[in-house]
Amino acid sequence: MGSRVPLLPLRDELFLIGHDDDTGRPHLHPQALAFGLAGAVLIDLHLAGRVALDPADSAVPAPEQRLRLHVDRPVGDLIADAALTSLRHAAGAPLRVWLRGFTTDLYERTRAGLVSAGILRHATRRRLHGLLTTDIYLPTHTRWPVVPRARLRALATGHEPPTDHTAALAGLVATLGLAVYLYLDTDTATVTARLKTVADRHHQPVRHITAAVDAAVGDLATAAYR
């Protein structure tokens, strides 16, 4: 099944996993998901050799690690290229600071890109006898959310060796608390731990970016209680 479906950018797969397939409702606060999407964009750029982190200093927490452009050349993807432009103007910015700045409208931009690509479709749901309408966005085919979810399920159960792409997705899904939506029989805590273990075996910069996402989401939760 996976061979017939093109590999989507990490942000698109994370967006799909982060929503209910039937209702289109997000499984977590859209701003929290936006931090994950920003991290996913950055990870894709790192895996493509476009961005790097300054040599890690064990005294500097992961969210404060500094970003730098490695190859300043357009990717051909609107959101990825916007990220490169942002990084060009914020050279040396700490991870956490860049993530905060890049999340502006990122949720909506990612959704719009999925609609333009024919992966999501816009629909209207009526409530209260048609007095209220709600815009919803649903997959045009079940394969779009099912394929990345299936890769993570196979990874979590040890049936598939992780690629860098899937390992990074596993780390983001675990960090954002989305493991429960893989719909495995195993308890969520165990699945989350397995996904984190796989992610932790891969590139250190990817781990730093995922840790920065975790810190940014934590900041958002703290702000909500102030």
pLDDT at 1: 41
Exposure string (b/e) for 100-133, b if CB count within 10 Å is 16 or more?
A: bebbeebbebbbbbbeeeebbeeeeeeeeeeeee
Domain count, the chain: 1
Q: Which of 27, 3, 15, 7 is nearest to 188 (CA)?
A: 27
Return all residues near 163 (Cβ < 8 A) that are at least 6 apart: none
Residue range of the domain that includes 184: 2-224
pLDDT at 225: 54
Q: What is the pTM of this model?
A: 0.93
Q: How far is residue 50's CA from residue 195's CA, in Å, rounded to a whole number? A: 26
Return all residues near 207 (Cβ < 8 A) that are at least 6 apart: 62, 171, 199, 200
pLDDT at 78: 96
Q: Which residues of the chain have pLDDT under 50?
A: 1-3
Question: Among positive and negative, which fits the CA dihedral 143, 145, 148, 149?
Answer: negative
pLDDT at 58: 63
pLDDT at 6: 83
Return all residues near 77 (Cβ < 8 A) that are at least 6 apart: 9
| Tokens at 98, concatenated | 């860049």
pLDDT at 130: 66
Q: What are phi and psi of 89, to 5 degrees?
A: -90, -5
Q: How far is residue 103's CA from residue 131's CA, in Å, rounded to a whole number? A: 33
**CATH number assigned to the domain comprising residue 178:** 1.10.3630.10
Question: Among positive and negative, which fits the CA dihedral 39, 45, 49, 52?
Answer: negative
pLDDT at 57: 63
